Amino acid sequence: MNNIELFKKNFDPYLKEYLNKKIRNTSDYTGDPFIQDYIRYIKKLILAGGKRIRPYIAFLIYEILGGKEKTQTLKFLVSLELFHSFCLVHDDIMDKAGFRHGIKSINKYILGKLNQQKRLNDLVHIANSQSILSGDLLFNWSYEILNLNNDFSQKIMQKIRIIFHKMADEVIVGQMIDVDTTTRKKVSKELIDEKTRLKTAGYSFIKPLQIGAALAGKNAKKVEKFCKEFGLAMGIAFQTQDDLLDITSSDKKLQKTTSLDKSQNQHTYFTYFKSLEEGKKIMEKNFNKAKDLVKKLSINGDAKKKFLNLIELIQTRTF
């Protein structure tokens, strides 16, 4: 078991515990079995897969910077994973994705149930509406953990709230750009850079790193510089790799609806340069840049290894 798998094994019980608590809460104010079933499916979907990259990265830098409150940190980082889940649920509506983590997307699950029960009305639209609401719930839960946290000082939490809100603004606006560009014939390289920075680098790497550093109470300029540079390089590499996998992978391997990106007129470095090679070059360049930044850090060898392992793990993923 590698480091991130080990992390997931330690982290997921907290995720599950929180989701169970929310399911109990919900049944306090509605006894309706159908609604309860939808909400249980949200939990099922979240626990069905995912690598926990974002909380892992935050935890990694937290430990490296000397953070000692492991349990409290894992508990808190559930907020980051739920924020990611919120993004996925709303993304899946926009991408018309039928599968996620190898099981049905929320949309497809609810549509199936409604059809099975021969319900009235435009059921595709109804399932869509319920997916919007499911994402909204997750957004609320993510912020609940952030807002009601008592394990860290108010000073630290205030700092993290600022990062979190900026992250949300950026990823939502980044997604707006992404959606809008699928309707355009031509998109500038600058706009592809912008959406990659906002949509992927920010929320998958830079902000989790900043959150981890803030949890550890460390916000030296050097740390901040590393979060931004390493996060940006990883973000570009990760997104480009994702686009490449969309072109080359089979549905089965990715366990999510693929090949849709292209058919939905997605603009990527690959479509911009009309070349697999150019896109791959950008990807490799940024993976290498991320590695160099880690190597230059004045941290102990073990910590460096963990970072390099993570890069390698991402670099060699096939789904």
Site residues, a copy of itself (CB under 8 A): 22, 25-26, 29-32, 34-35, 38-39, 90, 93-94, 96, 114, 119-121, 123, 125-126, 128-130, 132-133, 135-137, 139-140, 143-144, 146-148, 154, 158, 161-162, 165, 168-170, 172-173, 175-177, 179-180, 182-185, 191, 194, 198, 264-265
Question: Positive or negative, the Cα torsion across 179, 183, 184, 185?
Answer: positive
Q: How far is the CB of 307 from a copy of itself (least distance, A)?
A: 27
Q: Whose CA is closest to 164, among 135, 129, 139, 131? A: 139
Q: Which is nearer to a copy of itself, 38 or 205 (CB)?
A: 38
Q: Whose CA is closest to 313, among 285, 291, 295? A: 291
Q: How far is the CB of 154 from a copy of itself (least distance, A)?
A: 6
Q: Which is nearer to a copy of itself, 132 or 314 (CB)?
A: 132
Q: Give Cα 80 to chain centroid, integer Å.
A: 8
Question: Positive or negative, the Cα torsion across 238, 239, 241, 242?
Answer: positive
Q: Which is nearer to a copy of itself, 56 or 141 (CB)?
A: 141
Q: How far is the CB of 160 from a copy of itself (least distance, A)?
A: 10
Q: Which is nearer to a copy of itself, 35 or 313 (CB)?
A: 35
Q: Which is nearer to a copy of itself, 235 or 307 (CB)?
A: 235
Q: How far is the CB of 306 from a copy of itself (least distance, A)?
A: 31
Q: Which is nearer to a copy of itself, 134 or 286 (CB)?
A: 134
Q: How far is the CB of 6 from a copy of itself (least distance, A)?
A: 32
DSSP states of 107-150: HHHHHHHHHHTT--S-HHHHHHHHHHHHHHHHHHHHHHHHHS--
| 3-state class (DSSP) for residue 291 | helix
Question: Positive or negative, the Cα torsion across 143, 145, 150, 156?
Answer: negative
Q: How far is the CB of 179 from a copy of itself (least distance, A)?
A: 5
Q: How far apart are CA 165 and CA 162, in angstroms?
A: 5
Q: How far apart are CA 136 and CA 142, in angstroms?
A: 10
Q: How far is the CB of 80 from a copy of itself (least distance, A)?
A: 15
- Residues ≥6 apart with Cβ < 8 Å to 251: 257, 258, 259
Q: How far is the CB of 56 from a copy of itself (least distance, A)?
A: 24
Q: Which is nearer to a copy of itself, 65 or 77 (CB)?
A: 77
Alpha helices of the chain — where are they, by DSSP H? 3-29, 33-48, 53-64, 70-94, 106-116, 123-147, 154-181, 189-195, 207-215, 221-248, 251-254, 260-263, 269-273, 276-295, 301-315
Q: Which is nearer to a copy of itself, 195 or 256 (CB)?
A: 195
